[in-house]
Amino acid sequence: MEEKDLILFLGYSIHEPLLKQHLQQFRIELDNGDNLDVSGFQYDVNATNDRHDIFLTYNGNKRYTSGFGTPIGLLDEDGDELILTEVTFDNHYYDTQIPFPTSLPYDLKQGDTDKEVIRKLGKKPFERMKVNYGQAWWFNMGTFRLLTALDAGNKLIWIRCIQFSRNELSQMELKRMLGRQRKNIRPERVPQLEQLKKEIPTIQWKKRMTDGDDLFTPENIGVVETCLLSFLEKIMEHTEKKKAGPIYTSVKRLVQQINRINLDYDAFIETMEREELCEFIDKAVTTTGFIIENDLDITAPWREW
């Protein structure tokens, strides 16, 4: 097995014998201490090899199980042993122009053009982003997403593989099945959607502002309320026409609007407000008849608050 095959171990415990064997073979060791969240669980623990061109990221079992499901090769279900979630191949080719010393996954080579990347992967990216070094192209590889980093000349400089979370996989399945959601939409529920205008979270926010909660101002509450009411009007319109796709798109637009508002107003949306907004959006969407699987956060792909 070669170093490129480390991507096969996404979702494996650090103590799983086969992964452990290859970590020793490739001289990959943990390079930072415990990163602990507020609950004391490990997250984003890094490791690298002695050449410093392969980087691994682990999450502790507690966070991994919550976000990804059951890991492979877990020794202690009650413990918080590390689970591999991310593999990066980056030898600073952007600066040195010295090729990676071993093979990369999918026969990719640094210096490959964007067209060569697409040809080798056999698919087009599902997302493209402009970044400081050039472009980041994301590819769906089934159980993980592959980031191909391209320079300003659209040539490959490094790659990263990140395991899809359970929510991400559910979101992809939901998006794939949008066409079948049409039969679930119930135009007769428009009056129920109209009633939801009396349940928008900003009603409670106004009360908390009156009680002295300094998170809120008339301005930040007002702009969010306008967006929520407009969202309800849009999904009522789409419900009348039995259009599931636009209902889903309306969620995306609303979340992106709230992202901008939260940024403009000093990140006033905290845990309680986030939960209230997510619950309201979920209730509005499911009231249309749109089916959302249990535990799926429909706002997650775009939410920054």
Is 34 a residue whose pLDDT tops 80?
no
For 87-142, how does the pLDDT look when each residue is reduced to its tens digit (9 = 90+)?
Answer: 999 999 999 999 999 999 999 999 999 999 999 999 999 999 999 999 999 999 99
Per-residue pLDDT averaged across 170-185, rounded? 93
Residue 65 pLDDT > 80? yes
Confidence of residue 293 (pLDDT cuts 50, 70, 90): confident
C-alpha distances (whole Å) from 234 to each of 181, 246, 288 are 17, 9, 12
Residue 77 burial (CB count, 10 A): 10
Q: For 154-178, b where at least 16 C-beta lie within 10 A, e where not — what string?
A: ebbbbbbbbbbbebbbbbbebeeee
Do 41 and 60 meet the contact criterion of CB atoms below 8 Å apart? yes
Q: In degrees, to the nearest 5, what angle opens at C-alpha 126 toward C-alphas 174 and 70?
A: 55
Do the beta carbons of residue 146 and residue 160 sit within 8 Å? yes
Mean predicted confidence (pLDDT) in 276-284:
97
Angle, vertex CA 92, rays to CA 90 and CA 98, nearest 5: 105
Q: Does the pLDDT at position 199 exceed 90?
A: yes
Sheet holding 45-48, edge to edge: 29-30, 45-48, 54-60, 82-89, 156-163, 144-150, 134-140, 127-131
Q: Where are the domains of the chain?
A: 3-164, 168-287
Q: How much of the chain exceeds pLDDT 70, in percent?
A: 99
Name the average pLDDT for the chain: 95
What's the pTM?
A: 0.79
Residue 1, pLDDT score:
80
Percent of the chain with pLDDT over 90: 94
pLDDT at 31 (0 to 100)? 83
Which letter does DSSP use for residue 143 in this model?
S
Mean pLDDT of 213-240: 97
pLDDT in tens, 237-255: 999 999 999 999 999 999 9
Q: What is the pLDDT of residue 268?
A: 96
Average pLDDT over residues 73-99: 95
pLDDT, position 16: 96
Confidence band of 59 (pLDDT split at 50, 70, 90): very high
Look up residue 39 and give its DSSP letter: T
Mean of the pLDDT values across residues 217-226? Answer: 98
The residue that leads in pLDDT, 1 or 174, is 174
Q: How far apart are CA 246 and CA 259, in angstroms?
A: 20
Task: Report the alpha-carbon distance of residue 191 to residue 252 in Å, rounded.
Answer: 23
**Can you tell me the mean pLDDT for 39-52?**
94
| Residue 293 to residue 305: CA distance in whole angstroms | 22
What distance in Å separates the CA atoms of residue 9 and residue 104, rounded to the nearest whole number? 15
pLDDT band at 295 (very low <50, low <70, confident <90, very high): confident
